[in-house]
Amino acid sequence: MFGHRVGCLDAASSANMETLVGKTRPTLAIHDPPYNFIAFDLRTTEAFIDWSRKWIQITYDLLSDNASMYIWLGADQKQHYEPLPQFMLMMGETKFQSRSFITMRNQRGYGTQKNWMAIRQELLYYIKGNPQFYVDAEYTDVPKVLKGYYKEVAGKITENSERSKSEYIRAGNVWIDIQQVFYRMHENVNGCFAQKPIKAIDRIVRASSAPGDVVIDFFAHSGATLLACELLKRRCLTVDIDPIYCEITIRRLENFRQTGNLGWQNSNPFSQDLTMEMTNGAKQGKEIYEDLFGFP
Ligand SMILES: C[S@@+](CC[C@H](N)C(=O)[O-])C[C@H]1O[C@@H](n2cnc3c(N)ncnc32)[C@H](O)[C@@H]1O
């Protein structure tokens, strides 16, 4: 519909990413690399940073002159918050400008008994050139409740809420209004352990792009960026190195177009008989998915 593309490609290969982007010039990149803990292969922080340098440079070269880039990142509190500080220092050596250090508050966390519950999810915002920022997108759906900040405007004492443009609080750079994805949510995609909420991607896409713009995401996984772009009429070019996640990403979009569902909740991406013919990739994906995750 919008000319989205899903590639089974390597984010760190400039030839691969040039193939993905072709002649288009994206204005927004949303990347969620596999950081070192939980589900992904363990590698040293140095190796992670060296590898990140590559796809960051590729992103810089492919983005239009005025563009935004958002990167989801974790910080391991048991390992000096790796790889966040190293990543930030590496970014300082690039031509990107830092713009905001956003934290999304997760509702569920870990480590409540012997430590502060870990509930943060970091999101770094960088720019190239001077991109548009659409302020309207910044408001949350949380109504303002705090009152009592008075100021004199044109001889009249006014209360905070009278002066502001909206009755809702602004998102700022600490997002507290987004539910992280879990199995009971409509948008849940079983087997995708690192799925980002559509609401978070929606906020980024609205704030940093316009309808018709091209958005890139080098780490598709559950296809959350692709789906948000479909909903907001942006064109998404996305890749994942793992054929299963490429297939899931495609099937999530097809499922949405056919049923309007954002995910599969308790079911899974290969449980349905979509009316489309199952491609060889999908058949293979179904078998591998079954091996890995089983069917509920
Ligand atoms: C943290 S997940 C992305 C989650 C995604 N934002 C979502 O909401 O579903 C990272 C993904 O990167 C993929 N990946 C790892 N190395 C890659 C590479 N070199 N190129 C492209 N994708 C890669 C993994 O297969 C994994 O699906």
- Phi then psi for residue 93, to 5 deg, are -90, -5
Residue 275 lies in a domain: no
Which segment, 142-151, 174-183, 197-206, is predicted with the most confidence on average?
197-206
Task: Please state at what angle helix 243-259 crosses helix 280-293, rounded to 10 degrees.
Answer: 110
Query: Could you give the CA distance from residue 203 to residue 215 in angstroms, rounded to a whole number?
Result: 14
Residue 290 lies in a domain: no
- Predicted structure pTM score: 0.89
Query: Could you give the CA distance from residue 18 to residue 23 in angstroms, rounded to a whole number?
Result: 8
Summarised one tens digit per residue, pLDDT across range 253-294 is: 999 999 999 998 877 787 765 434 455 555 555 565 555 545
Identify the H or E element spanning 65. Answer: none
Identify the H or E element spanning 4. Answer: none
Domain that holds residue 150: 5-250
Residue 184 lies in a domain: yes
Query: Could you give the CA distance from residue 147 to residue 47 in angstroms, rounded to a whole number?
Result: 50
In short, whether 239's Cβ falls inside 6 Å of ligand 1 is: yes
Residue 155 lies in a domain: yes
In the prediction, which pLDDT does 168 show? Answer: 85
Nearest CA to ligand 1 atom 10: 34
Q: 150 CA to middle of ligand 1, Å?
A: 48
Question: How many structural domains comprise the chain?
Answer: 1
Nearest CA to ligand 1 atom 17: 241
Q: Which residues pair with 170 in a beta bridge?
A: 139
Q: 280 CA to middle of ligand 1, Å?
A: 22
Residue 133 lies in a domain: yes
Residue 274 lies in a domain: no
Q: Which amino acid is at 229?
A: C
Summarised one tens digit per residue, pLDDT across range 107-147 is: 776 666 888 888 899 999 999 999 999 988 888 888 887 77
Q: Which amino acid is at 123?
A: L
Burial letters for 159-189: b for 16+ Cβ neighbours within 10 Å, e otherwise?
A: eeeeeeeeeebebeeebeebebbeeebebbb
Q: How many CB atoms lie within 10 A of CB 70?
A: 25
Residue 276 lies in a domain: no
In short, whether 236's Cβ falls inside 6 Å of ligand 1 is: no
Q: Which atom of ligand 1 is nearest to the CA of 222?
A: 9
Is 41's pLDDT higher than 60?
A: no
Query: Could you give the CA distance from residue 134 to residue 220 in angstroms, rounded to a whole number?
Result: 24
Q: How far is CA 278 from CA 249, 269, 271, 273, 275, in A?
A: 14, 12, 12, 9, 9
Residue 257 lies in a domain: no
In short, whether 35's Cβ falls inside 6 Å of ligand 1 is: no
User: The CATH number of the domain where 124 resides is what?
Assistant: 3.40.50.150
